């Protein structure tokens, strides 16, 4: 924690994330109006004291929609990463520990990795249909191969350590070795990658909504807001600009925190005294 607190960029990203998370949680209290309320006499107005970030083509308050949209983006980011970690981490754990399963599992992961991330997510959403739940499933499936590879690598390293060999020699069961010895020592790479993956998941969820394959209007969501403002970029660029800035800030925040965690947990940097 001391090393992490000394990492200025990581702390800056952490502060940004704390602000965004709390504003999303407190959206019903902070939003100046109903994010779905249409006031056509107020449409396409720029930032004013009454509407700090302006209004869209339907007269809806953009600040309110960004605050509520942050809730969906956070949900997509955290749940899809948990989904990918649960299945990908389990497969990686089994592949790294049981040699007879390694080739079968990893060849299937190679097949999934052969598809570009966005293409794989689009295929899954196309099959399941648009919607928040299906977006989370699609983004989670996309992250399964990466988690499987990372966890497998960590298991292979930990499996050859003296403390793991001692547990095997003492007659510990495979289940106990996996859960009590190997898995805790895989925590650092999983934590760092998960932090970075949340940013990618939020961005990918916004892309799917932008393409019309994710959350559907009139639900406030950052990708939808950017998409809806495409036709008004010349007359009212703020419609797409502000949700785009929100996506940038949350993605940058998670990436900075992930970099800070990586540097803080790197054993080689600790040994060198950096």
List the CATH number of the domain containing 94: 1.10.3720.10
Nearest to 61 by CA among 29, 39, 78: 39
CA distance 78 to 245: 20
Give the count of alpha carbons within 13 A of 150, CB side only. Answer: 22
Q: What is the pLDDT of residue 65?
A: 92
CA distance 254 to 205: 15
CA distance 105 to 96: 10
Q: Which domain holds residue 216?
A: 2-272
Give the orientation angle of helix 132-159 with respect to helix 187-210, to 10 degrees: 160
Per-residue pLDDT of the chain (274 residues; tens, 9 = 90+): 778 778 888 889 899 999 988 998 898 898 888 888 888 888 888 888 888 888 988 889 999 999 999 888 888 889 999 999 999 999 998 988 888 888 899 999 988 888 888 888 888 888 888 888 888 998 999 899 999 999 998 888 888 788 777 887 887 787 888 888 888 888 888 888 888 899 889 989 888 888 888 888 888 889 889 988 888 888 889 999 999 999 999 999 998 988 888 878 765 555 444 4
**Rounded to whole angstroms, what are the CA distances from 104 to 99, 111, 114, 146, 186?**
10, 11, 16, 16, 22
Two tokens, residue 196 = 């970075």
Q: What is the pLDDT of residue 189?
A: 85
Two tokens, residue 67 = 């605050």
Q: What is the pLDDT of residue 83?
A: 92
Number of domains in the chain: 1
Two tokens, residue 132 = 């928040």
All residues at 6 or more sequence positions from 250 whose CB lies less than 8 Å from its CB, including other chains: 16, 17, 20, 70, 73, 77, 199, 202
Q: What is the pLDDT of residue 266?
A: 67
Q: Is the pTM of this model over 0.75?
A: yes
Tokens 């600040």 belong to 63
Give the count of alpha carbons within 13 A of 244, CB side only. Answer: 12
Q: What is the pLDDT of residue 127?
A: 87
Nearest to 241 by CA among 53, 22, 29, 30: 53
């Amino acid at each position: 924690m001391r090393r992490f607190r000394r990492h200025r960029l990581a702390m800056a990203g952490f502060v940004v994330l704390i602000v965004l998370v709390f504003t999303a949680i407190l959206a019903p209290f902070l939003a100046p109006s109903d994010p779905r309320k249409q006031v056509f006499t107020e449409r396409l107005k720029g930032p004013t004291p009454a509407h700090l970030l302006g209004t869209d083509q339907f007269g809806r308050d953009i600040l309110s929609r960004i605050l509520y949209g942050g809730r969906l983006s956070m949900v997509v980011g955290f749940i899809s990463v948990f989904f990918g970690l649960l299945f990908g981490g389990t497969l990686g754990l089994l592949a790294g520990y049981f040699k007879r399963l390694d080739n079968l599992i990893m060849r299937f992961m190679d097949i999934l990795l052969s598809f570009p991330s966005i293409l794989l997510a689009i295929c899954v959403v196309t099959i399941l249909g648009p919607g928040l739940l299906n977006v989370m499933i699609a983004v989670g499936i996309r992250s399964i191969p990466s988690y499987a590879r990372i966890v497998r690598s960590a298991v292979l390293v930990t499996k050859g350590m003296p403390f793991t060999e001692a547990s095997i020699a003492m007659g510990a069961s495979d289940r106990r070795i996996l859960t009590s010895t190997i898995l805790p020592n895989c925590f650092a790479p999983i934590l760092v990658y998960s932090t970075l993956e949340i940013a990618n998941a939020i961005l990918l969820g916004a892309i799917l909504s932008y393409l019309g394959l994710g959350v559907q209007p009139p639900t406030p969501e950052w990708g939808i807001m950017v998409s809806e403002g495409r036709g008004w970029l010349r007359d009212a660029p703020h419609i797409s600009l502000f949700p785009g800035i929100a996506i940038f800030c949350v993605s940058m925040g998670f990436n900075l925190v992930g970099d800070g965690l990586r540097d803080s947990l790197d054993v080689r940097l600790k040994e060198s005294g950096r």
